[in-house]
Amino acid sequence: MVQVDVFWSYGIGASFALAAAHQLRARAETGAERRPLPESGEPGGVVTDPFLTGAMLYCAALFAPSGAWLLWGFPNWETMQVGSHSMPAWLVAAFAMTNTTQGVAGYLLTRKLITAGRIRWAVLQAVAGYFSMFFILVHGWDGNGYKRFFSVDKADYRDWAARSALSNVAQWATSSVALTLYGMGVVLVPLMLAMMHRYHRQGLRAAGVRGPGGRTALAITLGTIFVGALGAAIATSLLIHLFTAVTGSIAPGWALGAIVAVPLLWSTMIRRNGLASAVARWLALPAEEQPASSAAPLPAAP
């Protein structure tokens, strides 16, 4: 979806960088990521990163075309029942572009955090990308995100109240939109997970670190996405709905929901020893580096 993919692609790029965390840390420490300049043989300013290349190829050759396919074939659904085939061409081009550029942005920022030793914040880049994606799917901008997602087109969305929620979901699950998604998912998801698994295993072996097995790593990854990020998005949406019902107005509902949700998200996901720290530990990612000011002890008084 247009409103969703900008965050999804960011999360994908961040996930690729996390999968190669050990390699990125080692390359940064040894300077191996810089290609020698031909004139002097000294390390120059050309950065070479095969893992970034893999992420870019995935986003540009698979993820972006899948979004364009869905936008052309199902413009109502792909725009969350807002747009149609009459949308301007520049918007379509911008959407296709961001499916790659946001993936690169997610990768680069996560790589920067990894090389700086901020592993917890690196993990949070992927979590934040998926949280934002799920929040839009679940809540959207008007509290009807899930209704927009489970409606094939604008007509279905307008008629949502005429059927039960279960009937709407069942009808969507057998629609041409859903069948297309199933087909794409069979190709895109296993390939993405296989690439990340390969990077992760290579990094563990190179670092001499004993990490989780393939199935365990997959369970941790999917659990972080569908329990951690999706669960947080649903909880945040419910809080906004609750306060909107109590106050009878959307703006106070959003404000009060955010006031309650932010500290909850901080305490469960963001703070040290929260979800992000646990994921880094479970996946045997490089250790978090303490700031220089706190890492070195003060000299003893004479």
pLDDT at 241: 96
Cross-strand bridge partners of residue 36: 43
Residue 33 confidence (pLDDT) above 60? no
Amino acid at the residue 248:
G
Averaged pLDDT of the chain:
90
Count of all residues that appear for the chain in the document: 302
How many C-beta neighbours within 10 Å does residue 294 have? Answer: 7
pLDDT at 103: 97
Query: Measured between alpha carbons, how far is 282 from 220 in angstroms, rounded to an integer?
Result: 8
Backbone region of residue 297 per phi and psi (left: phi > 0; alpha: psi in -120 to 50; beta: other values): beta
For the chain, which residues make up each domain, given as ranges?
2-31+45-209
Instruction: Name residues whose C-beta falls within 8 Å of residue 290's C-beta, 6 or more positions apart in sequence.
Output: none
pLDDT at 48: 81
Q: What is the pTM for the complete model shown?
A: 0.89
Instruction: Name residues whose C-beta falls within 8 Å of residue 183's C-beta, 6 or more positions apart in sequence.
Output: none
Instruction: Give the single-character DSSP code of 86.
Output: T
